[in-house]
């Protein structure tokens, strides 16, 4: 209540000065102190705060705001899930506020959800990239990129990618977004790769892969980009090669120790967790320090044919069931740091429908 009154009072005061960027963040306080005060406000108030003035809105949507929140130890972890309605009539993004177990639906994205799109989290924002759509029987490949600001609860369009693509790999590394491979406009497999710089809002082409690759996935480890799985025109069946891009050297190298066909993946701590198509009852865990893999069995929960989508919460792995059971879509939780025998639990975190994609945003 006190915060709400403060926002209303400050809103009225700023309105009289016509949202001038030259005005102080909070009258009577140095800007660094004022910014710290704003960072202390609970996350649920951020969209309202963004309407106080252009100065507040600019700060709340900035990377600096997230940094101040982190330094203050007040970052909140929320899960964002793209779900399909239970009757299969449509899709929507929803947020699972794990602190209070509340659920809310995000505003509709400015463009329809496509197939084969990419999703990355960057500076407290959800970035949805490219993909394939079918309209009136005509298919098209997109290069559009949309950004959801989790602090302001709003979508905006950012710069298009250089190459329209779908079924590609993408990941964030060192504050940059990378998109690699996939299929192009004419259905041709791609070897090209590009990088997005949020500071300039531009995509730049980087060195291409040595061979085309599609249906693959990517993740970042210790400042490097790892591209795994999928298929390549230079291999029979699915590729076991791991392509590693070093941004400092601006070059690729290869490893021959990857997964075959991955249906879900997530990075928890310093390890990669995968679910392979051929075995939906085992987690495959990759340690980039020594390039090793190990497997962990998944406990039976309902049908033995159940597949999963992955999510992350508090350095634990969430496994969202792809088959509806009694009580909805069940969720398993795997804690890699738990004592032996107690790694697996059930979780109360459940999306309203079938999970198509899941990311965690800390802000």
Residues 82 and 214 both lie in one domain:
no
Q: What's the confidence (pLDDT) of residue 197?
A: 98
- Residue 290 above 60 pLDDT? yes
- Segment 198-221 shows an average pLDDT of 95
Residues 253 and 171 both lie in one domain:
yes
Please give the Cα distance from 229 to 272 (Å, whole number).
13
Task: Give the distance from CA 69 to its chain's centroid.
Answer: 19
Please give the Cα distance from 41 to 59 (Å, whole number).
13
Please give the Cα distance from 140 to 135 (Å, whole number).
8
Please give the Cα distance from 94 to 82 (Å, whole number).
6
- List beta partners, residue 82: 93, 357
Residues 82 and 120 both lie in one domain:
no
Q: What's the confidence (pLDDT) of residue 9?
A: 46
CA neighbours closer than 13 Å in the CB half-sphere of residue 107? 15
Residues 131 and 166 both lie in one domain:
yes
Sheet holding 279-287, edge to edge: 262-268, 271-276, 279-287, 292-297
Encode burial over 92-123: b for 16+ CB neighbours within 10 A, e otherwise.
bbbbbebeeeeeeebeebeeebbebbbebbbb
Query: 3-class DSSP state for residue 44?
Result: helix
**What stretches of 222-344 show up as alpha helix (H) in DSSP?**
none
Domain extent at residue 43: 2-71
37, 125 contact by CB (below 8 A): no
Q: Map tokens 């960027």 to a residue.
A: 21
- Residue 12 above 60 pLDDT? no
Q: What's the confidence (pLDDT) of residue 136?
A: 78
Residues 288 and 226 both lie in one domain:
no
Please give the Cα distance from 58 to 54 (Å, whole number).
6
Residues 94 and 130 both lie in one domain:
no
DSSP structure class, residue 13: H
- How much of the chain exceeds pLDDT 70, in percent? 87
Q: What's the confidence (pLDDT) of residue 306?
A: 63
* Number of compact structural domains in the chain: 3
pLDDT one-digit tens code per residue, 222-238: 999 999 988 887 665 57
pLDDT one-digit tens code per residue, 169-180: 999 999 999 999
* Helices then strands, each counted (H, E), the chain: 5, 26
Sheet holding 242-246, edge to edge: 217-221, 224-228, 242-246, 251-255
User: pLDDT-based confidence at 4, cuts 50/70/90?
Assistant: very low
Task: Give the distance from CA 249 to its chain's centroid.
Answer: 26
Q: Which of 226, 258, 290 corresponds to the end of one domain?
A: 258
Residues 125 and 235 both lie in one domain:
yes
CATH code at position 126 = 2.120.10.80
pLDDT one-digit tens code per residue, 19-68: 456 678 888 889 889 889 988 888 888 999 998 888 899 899 898 999 99
Residues 133 and 53 both lie in one domain:
no
Q: Which of 200, 231, 258 corresponds to the end of one domain?
A: 258
Q: What's the confidence (pLDDT) of residue 17?
A: 38
Residues 198 and 293 both lie in one domain:
no
pLDDT one-digit tens code per residue, 58-108: 899 898 999 999 888 888 889 999 998 766 678 899 998 765 566 789 999
Residues 92 and 112 both lie in one domain:
no
- Segment 257-273 shows an average pLDDT of 87
Q: What's the confidence (pLDDT) of residue 234?
A: 63
User: pLDDT-based confidence at 14, cuts 50/70/90?
Assistant: very low
Nearest C-alpha neighbor of 358 from the set 322, 334, 325: 322
Residues 180 and 306 both lie in one domain:
no
Residues 299 and 350 both lie in one domain:
yes
Q: What's the confidence (pLDDT) of residue 21?
A: 61
Q: Which of 258, 283, 308 corresponds to the end of one domain?
A: 258
């Amino acid at each position: 209540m006190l915060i709400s009154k403060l926002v209303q009072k400050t809103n009225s005061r700023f309105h009289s000065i016509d949202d001038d960027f030259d005005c102080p963040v909070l009258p009577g306080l140095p800007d660094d102190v004022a910014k710290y005060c704003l960072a202390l406000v609970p996350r649920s108030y951020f969209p309202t705060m963004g309407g106080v003035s252009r100065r507040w809105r600019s700060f709340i949507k900035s990377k600096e705001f997230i940094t101040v929140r982190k330094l203050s130890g007040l970052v909140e972890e929320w899960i964002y899930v793209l779900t399909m309605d239970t009757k299969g009539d449509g899709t929507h993004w929803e947020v699972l506020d794990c602190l209070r177990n509340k659920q809310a639906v995000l505003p509709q994205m400015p463009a329809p959800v496509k197939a084969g799109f990419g999703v990355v989290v960057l500076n407290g924002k959800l970035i949805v990239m490219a993909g394939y759509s079918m309209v009136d029987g005509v298919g098209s490949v997109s290069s559009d990129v949309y950004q959801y600001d989790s602090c302001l609860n709003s979508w905006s369009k950012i710069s298009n990618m250089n190459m329209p693509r779908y079924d590609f790999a993408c990941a964030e590394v060192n504050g940059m977004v990378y998109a690699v491979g996939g299929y192009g406009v004419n259905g041709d497999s791609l070897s090209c790769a590009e990088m997005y710089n949020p500071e300039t809002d531009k995509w730049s082409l980087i060195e291409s892969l040595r061979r085309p690759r599609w249906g693959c996935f990517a993740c970042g480890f210790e400042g490097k980009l790892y591209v795994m799985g999928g298929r390549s025109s230079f291999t029979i069946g699915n590729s076991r090669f791991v392509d590693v891009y070093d941004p400092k050297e601006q070059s690729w190298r290869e490893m021959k120790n990857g997964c075959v066909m991955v249906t879900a993946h997530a990075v928890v701590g310093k390890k990669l967790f995968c679910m392979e198509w051929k075995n939906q009852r085992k987690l495959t865990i990759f340690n980039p320090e020594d390039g090793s893999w190990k497997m962990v069995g998944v406990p039976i929960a309902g049908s033995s044919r159940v597949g999963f989508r992955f999510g992350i919460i508090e350095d634990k792995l969430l496994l969202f069931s792809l088959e509806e059971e009694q009580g909805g879509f069940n969720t398993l939780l795997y804690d890699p740091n738990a004592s032996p025998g107690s790694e697996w639990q059930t979780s109360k975190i459940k999306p309203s429908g079938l999970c198509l994609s899941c990311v965690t945003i800390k802000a």
